Structure 1
């Protein structure tokens, strides 16, 4: 599986590099990946909270998703959040 993981990593990077802006990155790479992840998780009954070095990814049910989104938005808008890069 490690070989496949590296292949997926390379494929995703190549696809991301072809996107000239955030909107195309979101539409062409991020949303299709997240949609596939959501489907697999829903089919298997998984609820996930993946903590990364610089990000979190939560896959929940439809009821919890909006509440988590609002909590994150409130945090990012608060003075407690670390400063954001203007280009992000």
Structure 2
């Protein structure tokens, strides 16, 4: 919902408020991801593998996210950087 608001924001204050909402939501999702992995894989090598894969995916997102976002902004408008999340979700 926050990504949709960002993509359709008609003013800078609304865009800033929606970005704040995105940040709060991302923080909540991040803490839930760690909690779910910790609960699902409580001990042993499976837990290490699960957290390793989580770290790989997280790192790939951090590394390639700006490149993908820049490409989207180059080929479409800046609004699509946010609206693409709506389509993916």
TM-score bracket, normalised by the shorter chain, equals: 0.3 to 0.5
Larger Rg: 2
